[in-house]
Amino acid sequence: MFKRPPTDTHFILLTLALVLVMAVPTFNTLVSNEEISEEDVLMVSTTLASRTPASVPAVAPMKVESALSNLTAFDLSCPKPGLEAISVTGSFVQFQGKNCLKNYKDGDVEIVNKSNGYTASVFSRGINKYQTDLIQLQKGENEIAIRYREGSGKAVEQIIRVRSSQI
């Protein structure tokens, strides 16, 4: 009439029995020496070769290029006014250089591609030296403005034209 409630020992013994019931057939299949026929191997290989994921459409393989393969680095140390257009074959350009203005306020350089509105990040590389991140170009003519700020607060702007022939 009255039953004792199950104890931890009962649960452990029941779990051990279930593990043994499942382990014996598994161990049996691992140690058996059944030979696999060539027909079975051929059937499995043709089935696997013909299957493709349903969620991925079948397309031709594409060649993927990194952004660095389309990068052109250019030194802008003291660019002269009226500099002719720079031609590049990539879709990115990176500038490095130094400011040659007198009374230059260190760290006040802004570089903007006016053609697409991209503002480059400018990193200081020492006194009056800087380097930009990758500036994205659009195909054709790009007008890039370099703005320096003098110690008095007056902004000086230089325009460089970069012509990109490949995107």
Q: According to CATH, what is the number of the domain 67-164?
A: 2.60.40.10
**Residues 116, 110: Cα–Cα separation, whole Å:** 15
| Residue ranges of domains in the chain | 67-164
Angle at 68 between CA 66 and CA 73, to 5 degrees: 160
Residue 107 pLDDT > 80: no
- Residue 129 is predicted with a pLDDT of 81
Residue 144 pLDDT > 60: yes
Instruction: Read off the pLDDT of residues 45-84 as tens digits, 9 standing for 90 and up.
Output: 777 666 666 666 666 666 655 555 556 777 776 656 556 6
Residue 42 CB-density burial (10 A; 0-12 exposed, 13-18 middle, 19+ buried) = exposed
Instruction: Read off the pLDDT of residues 9-50 as tens digits, 9 standing for 90 and up.
Output: 989 999 999 999 999 988 888 888 777 777 877 777 777 666
pTM exceeds 0.85: no
